[in-house]
Homo-oligomer: A and B are copies of this chain.
Amino acid sequence: MAVYTDVSESQLGAFLQEYSIGQLLSYKGIAEGSENSNFLLHTTTGSYILTLYEKRVDKSDLPFFLGLMEHLAKKGISCPLPVHRRDGNVTGPLADRTAAIITFLEGMWMRKPTAIHCREVGKSLAALHLAGADFPMSRPNALDITGWRKLWDGSRDRADEVEPGLAAEVDADFAEFERGWPTDLPSGIIHADLFPDNVFFLGNELSGLIDFYFACDDIYAYDLATCLNAWCFEKDNSFNLTKGTAMLDAYQSVRPLSEAEKQAMPILARGSALRFMLTRLYDWLTIPDGALVQKRDPMEFIRRVRFHRQIKSASEYGLK
């Protein structure tokens, strides 16, 4: 939640010479996005988001992320469209960073989503999976089990500071995942981080999906499992079956799940919960207090892992 890099009006003016988006009227650093510096631009042709990619983003991934947004937008998915420069590129240098301009999507993210919002997300996620199927580029998931293991190696020794017994508990999970993680389920482009702050609504209608900077190739049903974790639990960490049912039904109305995908849902949901627990735990233990990066409590996701561990059948999520 920060602007890491400021931009002067003369730097921005020079940068905008390369674009055909009209005269600059204003730009404001916005307090959203935890990885990059983002500015909301007003020009004589409309509103745009200017992103300066900070060091956490690998620049060699930008053609994938921006190309994917363009591919999806052209297939009718409501997501930001990268603006091409006069030289044809979608990125350029600004204030010692690589920067891009994307279209601005109106809409609000839901701090307290309802089952109606969960239904819309389920539908849009399935549409995204279908629309991405013929995207020609690919990117391995840096946060697959091998990636989790690296995070765990960097935090295991201090995990019991967060809760006594956590190290042993997660070790046991890893043993199971490394043995039983599904390898033959339908895969393709997934969003991989479709939390409520990445989905905009106008009233009850979904107006946009944003932040494709974790997108990659992985199991479709894993992406859906992440949405269950991100949208269908209440503040007290209880699972809301109405929301789960709404999301899963809506997803299947666009892209029906195979039997194998259904059966894998509990382990996928548990793995997804562990993945978010691990990034939070790692940040929790390694980022100094008071840094600009917002730290989130890893325990919220350990409780999800425990919930999924005792699920016997995917029907307990509302899956039909």
User: Which A positions have Cβ atoms within 8 angstroms of B?
Assistant: 1-3, 6, 8-10, 12, 24-32, 40, 42, 47, 104-112, 200-202, 288-291
Contact = CB atoms under 8 A, between A and B. Distances in A.
A108 B9 contact: yes
A6 B200 contact: no
Given A2-B31, A42-B106, A9 B111 contact: yes
Given A9-B111, A111-B6, A32 B28 contact: yes
Contacts of A3: 1, 31
Copies of this chain, complex-wide, total 2
Contacts of A106: 25-26, 42
A40 B47 CA distance: 12
A25 B202 contact: yes
A13 to B, nearest CB: 9
10 contacts: A6-B111, A10-B111, A10-B112, A12-B108, A26-B104, A26-B105, A28-B40, A29-B30, A29-B31, A288-B290
Contacts of A289: 290
A10 B107 CA distance: 13
Contacts of A288: 290
